[in-house]
Amino acid sequence: MLFDSHMRALLDASIALVNGLTDGEARGRAYVAPEGAERVGAVRAVLNAGADLDADAADHLAATARALRTIFEAVAEDRLDEAVHALNAILQDSGARPQLDRAPGEPWQVHFHGADDSYAVGWRAGCATGLAMAIGGDYAGRLGVCAAPRCDRVYVDTSRNAGRQFCSTACQNRVKAAAFRARRAG
């Protein structure tokens, strides 16, 4: 499954925001999302943001991440109508609107800006639009939550056979090793 580069960037940002800014479990351990200055640093790292990113924008994006998590979870649990209602609320709240933009020397791309074009609202609008394009393009089954025990990190399956079940090879290996140990013991 190949998304175009801009769509992939939006989906990757959605995954990174959810996995980096929401509490839960990651790779078999409790995960506590960063707060305060650590949150600002995490958002800067996840989105490759500049030093001008402030705490208010980081907090807005953390709230966005929590909202996006509910969409990934609803899709993974076959509650597509619930996911779509939540996603439509984010799209409406952000005022997402298409606009053609390009960087110097690059081709035109459709970007989705928020109503006020602030950094945080723009990313909220873009991430929501990326998920909307995936779900509306009949790729909802490509959105997932890790199937490994004690891990709730999210992913987008870009494999050819749509067989991905884990957020990372680390989780896949943990599950395979546990199954091997269980077979050996039994």
Given this model, what pLDDT does residue 98 score?
87
Ranges assigned E (strand) in the chain = 24-26, 29-31, 97-101, 109-113, 143-145, 154-156
Q: What is the CATH number of the domain that holds 78?
A: 1.10.3300.10
Q: Shortest CA distance to 124 belongs to which of 168, 77, 71, 76?
A: 71
Residues in the chain: 186
- Check if the beta carbon of residue 156 is closer than 8 Å to that of residue 134: yes
On the question of pLDDT at 2 being above 60, the answer is no
DSSP-derived secondary structure for 154-170: EEE--STT-----SSHH
Q: Can you give the residue range of the structural domain that contains 160?
A: 5-185
Q: How many domains would you assign to the chain? A: 1
- Please state the rounded mean pLDDT for residues 62-82: 98
pLDDT in tens, 44-64: 999 998 888 999 999 999 999
pTM, full prediction? 0.91
